[in-house]
Amino acid sequence: AVLDITTTEVADHIVGGVMACDSSRFDAIIEKKIPLVLSIGALDMVNFGPKVTIPACFDKRKIHMHNDQ
């Protein structure tokens, strides 16, 4: 079985973050019919680079900067 609890790269894929997966993120698990426990952990965040790379549509959102890089 697979335990997948941090799916932040899915949010990055949907919104355009820098740590995005591609559309085949769950394909192998589905195709091989592997038992899966899936949580929606970390879907409340998106990873961007420096602040200047954050799209304008997020200007009014709370931004948490981990570092200046």
Phi/psi at 54 (nearest 5 deg)?
Answer: -75, 125
Averages of pLDDT over runs of 10 residues in the chain (69 residues) are 88 94 91 92 89 92 83
pLDDT at residue 60 in the model: 93
CA distance 67 to 1: 36
pLDDT at residue 41 in the model: 85
Contact 44/61 with Cβ under 8 angstroms? no
pLDDT at residue 40 in the model: 85
pLDDT at residue 55 in the model: 93
Q: Which of 12, 66, 19, 20 is nearest to 43 (CA)?
A: 12
Number of helices followed by number of strands (H, E) in the chain? 2, 2
pLDDT at residue 69 in the model: 66
